[in-house]
Amino acid sequence: MWNTPSTSSRPRLRRGLIAAVVLALGMLAPSAAAGHRGPVKPKPTNRAVAQTRATQPATCSKVASPGPGTAQALLNSLAPGQVGCLRGGAYTATGSYVLDFSNRAVTITSYPGERAVLVGVMVFRNGASGSKLSRVAVEGTGGPTGRSNTIQILGAADVVIEDSDLTNKWRGRSCLIIGDGSAPAAVRPVIRRNRFHECGSLGNGNQDHAIYAANVVDGKITDNLFWNSAAYALQLYPNAQRTLFAHNVVDGGSPSVTGGVIFGGDSADASSGNVVEHNVLADSTRYNLESWWGGAVGTGNVARSNCLFGGGFGEIGAANGFAPQGNLVASPGFVNRGAHDYRLRADSPCLAVVGYDTAALLSKLH
């Protein structure tokens, strides 16, 4: 597994402990299509569709109750295309993983109106293409050695992680790694409408992230909230290709050693063709946007129409390997940053460039 880029100018860590926020989650299910006669209604917006679907009851193929190994037993019992629902409570592992998606395209979600908390490490392997994790809380434990990324997408295609609350309470490593050198690239993962917080370990310098996009093609990371990452909210390194990071809200700053978003590559690979747009990127300890290259410099990377504010070293580092376009430097006007309420006030200048209030959207869906 690759190491992240190191930067000698990174500030020293300040240790602290902030209790992780685990929010009550429901279940996202497909919408019901009922044909009827009558006037043709306007097509709903994407946000309206998402909100409608999130309020609909689940269709559970099978159900499990909390306990050691019960989440994995439910997963193993599902046929391709089925939905496994977890009753409210904590689910732990009896082996290395609390969930090991390995040979079928299935969905794991919370039972309607309840919240399942998955405590441990989980993996989506090559045979799990098309699998989905939806509307759960995840509390990573760092694994048996304390060095395991909480959620690992290793070679699988079309994995979806949505509407969930993700943390490892600074136990390390990253909350989500997308691909690594041990497996083929993760293809077309969708990471949407989640909350990432207290990800990584404050003892690992700039090595642990909320999302480590290591070996990925055509990823979509949209409508997520990030706060208190040990290092970056998103690291595109070393081989992230054509990945979109859009309509997210990132609160960097203390206790993070870095914060924000970084484009990068090592001596063998260079992340290219990635787009970072319509995000609020605020209060990073270093830059809100930056890059680092260990060999060839990436091409076709764009950072456009973002609202940037409060970077400790400035808003944008040397634009090497990415093109900044139309970014706004302005205070986002969060409703209550201290309470992690990242809704934007009605007069927020960020709305003009980001398009809509992601945090307000998530407050209606969760």
Is pLDDT at 341 greater than 80 in this prediction? yes
Return the percentage of the chain with pLDDT > 90, whole number: 78
At 23, the pLDDT band (50, 70, 90 cuts) reads very low
Query: 186 CB contacts (<8 Å, ≥6 apart)?
Result: 153, 154, 155, 156, 157, 159, 178, 179, 215, 216, 217, 219
Q: What was the pLDDT predicted at 34? A: 30
Q: What was the pLDDT predicted at 44? A: 43
Exposure of 297 by Cβ count < 10 A (0-12 exposed, 13-18 middle, 19+ buried)?
A: middle
At 146, the pLDDT band (50, 70, 90 cuts) reads confident
Among the listed residues 199, 123, 208, 113, the one whose alpha carbon sits nearest the alpha carbon of residue 161: 123
Check if the beta carbon of residue 24 is closer than 8 Å to that of residue 115: yes
SS3 content of the chain, % helix, strand, coil (to 5): 10, 35, 55
How much is the average pLDDT of 44-55? Answer: 45
CA–CA distance, 318 with 312 (Å, rounded to integer): 14
Among the listed residues 179, 228, 174, 234, the one whose alpha carbon sits nearest the alpha carbon of residue 204: 174
Q: What is the pLDDT of residues 246-285, one digit of tens each?
A: 999 999 988 899 999 999 999 999 999 999 999 999 999 9
Q: What was the pLDDT predicted at 63? A: 98
Work out the mean pLDDT of the chain and round it to a whole number.
87
Check if the beta carbon of residue 196 is closer than 8 Å to that of residue 233: yes
How much is the average pLDDT of 230-243? Answer: 98
pLDDT-wise least confident of 40-49, 55-64, 123-132, 289-298: 40-49
Check if the beta carbon of residue 271 is closer than 8 Å to that of residue 185: no
Most confident of the ranges 44-58, 134-148, 325-339: 325-339
Question: What is the pTM for the complete model shown?
Answer: 0.85
- Number of helices (H), then strands (E), belonging to the chain: the values are 4, 34
Tokens describing residue 34 = 């009922």
Query: 209 CB contacts (<8 Å, ≥6 apart)?
Result: 4, 174, 175, 199, 200, 229, 230, 231, 232, 233, 234, 235
pLDDT-wise least confident of 180-184, 288-292, 321-325, 359-363: 180-184
Check if the beta carbon of residue 291 is closer than 8 Å to that of residue 303: no
315 or 202, which is more confident? Answer: 315
Among the listed residues 199, 280, 259, the one whose alpha carbon sits nearest the alpha carbon of residue 11: 259
Parallel, antiparallel or unpaired: strands 165-167 and 122-124: unpaired
CA–CA distance, 217 with 244 (Å, rounded to integer): 10
Can you give 149-192 as a three-state secondary structure string? CCEEECCCECCEEECCEEECCCCCCCCEEECCCCCCCEECCEEE
Q: What was the pLDDT predicted at 20? A: 35
pLDDT-wise least confident of 88-92, 145-149, 169-173, 347-351: 145-149
Length of the chain: 366
25 or 242, which is more confident? Answer: 242
What DSSP line would sit under 284-321, residue for residue? -SSEEEEEEESSSPP-S-EEES-EEE--SSEEE---SS
43 or 76, which is more confident? Answer: 76
Among the listed residues 294, 343, 299, the one whose alpha carbon sits nearest the alpha carbon of residue 319: 299
Is pLDDT at 56 greater than 70 in this prediction? no
Q: What was the pLDDT predicted at 255? A: 87
34 or 356, which is more confident? Answer: 356
Query: 319 CB contacts (<8 Å, ≥6 apart)?
Result: 291
How much is the average pLDDT of 341-361? Answer: 97
CA–CA distance, 326 with 352 (Å, rounded to integer): 11
Q: What was the pLDDT predicted at 10? A: 33
CATH topology of domain 114-365: Pectate Lyase C-like (2.160.20)
